[in-house]
């Protein structure tokens, strides 16, 4: 039986990317050595890093004046690196959930943080639209896709100040107007590679303005000056990222990823709406293409565990919702084939028939 992996992260990667990584672990490029055993300064690794950085720029249409970095640490490290490097006096943050709240907490260590709006009043089930950004803020921080709550900003919003975005869970799933941002960052383990790696796209002339001492390892300028090799980078995850970036390009690039994401999401959301047993939790206009959250409809709550078991019996795995919200979450990142979304929808239909007899 084919298994469809709906994990939120670390999550599904294209099968060929997993196989290419596995082959490189055993013997990289016929060299008789594992990629894990090669120096990051070696003639073999340098082209991997260079091509991965170049492909990020190419696929996301990154303008001149921006650099791409691949660092260890995960998205959470950038919750502190971003304000360390970019917050001189005041920054604006949009609070759309757990990850945004964590970013806000770290930023408060570095200056004044204005929370411009929050959707905490409705359990982060929507993205606030009416808010004012102070014109003297150094940046406005947004979380483009709220992995836990299943809401997504599917466009680059207008703001009087430049944007900073945590795009951990929707990078490479839609075209982005990078010129609106001074920094885009995220963990790699949702839509790019395995865990242990983070990515950053940073505008060079936004840096060096904070007037505080920054430890070298946390200074974006130091990483840029060292070509993303200030210290030993996570070499194997960078190779996986490269294989995945090549895969995205071969499939037709980011616009094609967006088309597929919309198609998959429609299959699942349509079934949630049609099916009497389930209901969605996110506001319709803010629903995420990447993480589809739903719960048992009122009166059917007791069937939650039963549906998870039924889904597993059909090869639909890891649809349990985040521990903080419960219910179900079907994460449909770039690697999820349309057939996976259809299998989940069929599973929901068949479960409804089974329950209603």
Q: And the tokens for 346?
A: 């069929």
247 is known as an active-site residue: no
Angstrom distance (rounded) from CA 271 to CA 347: 10
* Of residues 42 and 98, the one with the C-beta less far from ligand PLP: 98
CA angle 147, 151, 156 (to 5 degrees): 105
Q: For residue 219, give Cα distances in angstroms to 33, 85, 223.
A: 33, 7, 7
Q: By C-alpha distance, which of 75, 97, 102, 103 is closest to 10?
A: 75
User: Which of 99/269 has CB closer to ligand PLP?
Assistant: 99
Nearest to 198 by CA among 110, 82, 112, 65: 82
Taking the least distance from each CB to ligand PLP, the nearer of 96 and 235 is 96
Q: Which is nearer to ligand PLP, 113 or 345 (CB)?
A: 113
- Min dist. Cβ of residue 334 to ligand PLP (A): 15
Centre a 10 Å sphere on the Cβ of residue 179 and count the other Cβ atoms it contains.
13
Identify whether 195 is preceded by a cis peptide bond (ω within 30 of 0): no
What region does 355 belong to: left with phi over 0, alpha with psi -120 to 50, or beta?
alpha
In the annotation, is 121 catalytic? no
Q: Write down the catalytic residue from 190, 203, 286, 293.
A: 190
The least distance separating ligand PLP from the CB of residue 190, rounded to whole angstroms, comes to: 6
Q: How far is the CB of 149 from ligand PLP (least distance, A)?
A: 10
- Torsion over CA: 42, 46, 47, 48 (sign): positive
Q: Which is nearer to ligand PLP, 21 or 145 (CB)?
A: 145
Q: Find the shortest distance in angstroms from Cβ 196 to ligand PLP.
A: 9
Q: Which is nearer to ligand PLP, 99 or 351 (CB)?
A: 99
- Distance (Å, whole) CA 6 – CA 61: 29
Strand order in the sheet with 140-143: 66-71, 198-203, 181-187, 163-166, 140-143, 90-95, 112-118
Nearer to ligand PLP, 38 or 178 (CB): 178
* From 99, 170, 219, 286, the catalytic residue: 99
Decide: 75 and 187 in contact? Cβ < 8 Å. Answer: yes
Catalytic site residue from 138, 166, 170, 293: 166
159: its two tokens: 């703001």
Interface residues with ligand PLP (CB under 6 A)? 9, 74-76, 99, 143, 147, 166, 168-169, 187, 190
How many CB atoms lie under 10 A from the CB of residue 322?
17
DSSP summary character for residue 111: S
Closest approach, Cβ 12 to ligand PLP, in A, equals 15
Distance in Å, CB of 157 to ligand PLP, minimum: 16
Strands 291-296 and 278-280, sheet pairing: antiparallel
Q: Is residue 99 annotated as part of the catalytic site, yes or no? A: yes
To ligand PLP, the closest distance from the beta carbon of 72 in angstroms equals 10
**Residues recognised as catalytic:** 99, 166, 190
């Amino acid at each position: 039986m084919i298994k469809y992996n709906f994990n939120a992260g670390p999550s599904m990667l294209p099968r060929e990317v997993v196989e290419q990584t596995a082959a490189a672990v055993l013997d990289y490029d016929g060299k008789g050595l594992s990629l894990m055993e090669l120096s990051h300064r070696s003639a073999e690794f340098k082209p991997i890093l260079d091509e991965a950085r170049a492909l990020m720029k190419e696929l996301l249409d990154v303008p001149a004046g921006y650099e791409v970095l691949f660092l260890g640490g995960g998205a959470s490290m950038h919750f502190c690196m971003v304000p360390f490097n970019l917050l001189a006096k005041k920054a604006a943050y949009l609070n759309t959930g757990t990850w945004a709240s964590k970013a806000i907490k770290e930023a408060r260590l570095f200056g004044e943080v204005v929370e411009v709006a929050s959707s905490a009043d409705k359990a982060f089930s929507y993205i606030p639209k009416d808010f004012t950004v102070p014109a003297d803020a150094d940046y406005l921080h947004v979380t483009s896709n709220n992995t836990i709550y299943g809401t997504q900003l599917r466009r680059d919003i207008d703001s009087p100040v430049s944007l900073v975005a945590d795009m951990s869970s929707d990078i490479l799933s839609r075209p982005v107007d990078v010129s609106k941002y001074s920094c885009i960052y995220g963990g790699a383990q949702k839509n790019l590679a395995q865990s242990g790696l983070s990515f950053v796209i940073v505008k060079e002339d936004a840096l060096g303005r904070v007037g505080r001492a920054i430890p070298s390892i946390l200074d974006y300028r130091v990483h840029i000056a060292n070509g993303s090799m200030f210290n030993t980078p996570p070499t194997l995850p960078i190779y996986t990222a490269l294989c995945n970036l090549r895969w995205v390009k071969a499939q037709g690039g980011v616009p094609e990823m967006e088309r597929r994401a919309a198609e998959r999401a429609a299959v699942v959301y349509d079934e949630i709406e049609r099916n009497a047993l389930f209901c969605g939790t996110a506001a319709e206009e803010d629903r995420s293409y990447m993480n589809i959250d739903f719960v048992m409809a009122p009166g059917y709550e007791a069937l939650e565990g039963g549906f998870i078991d039924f889904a597993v019996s059909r090869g639909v795995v890891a649809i349990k919702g985040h521990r903080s919200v419960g219910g179900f979450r079907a994460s449909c990142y770039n690697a999820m084939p349309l057939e996976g979304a259809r299998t989940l929808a069929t599973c929901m239909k068949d479960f409804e028939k089974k329950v209603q007899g």
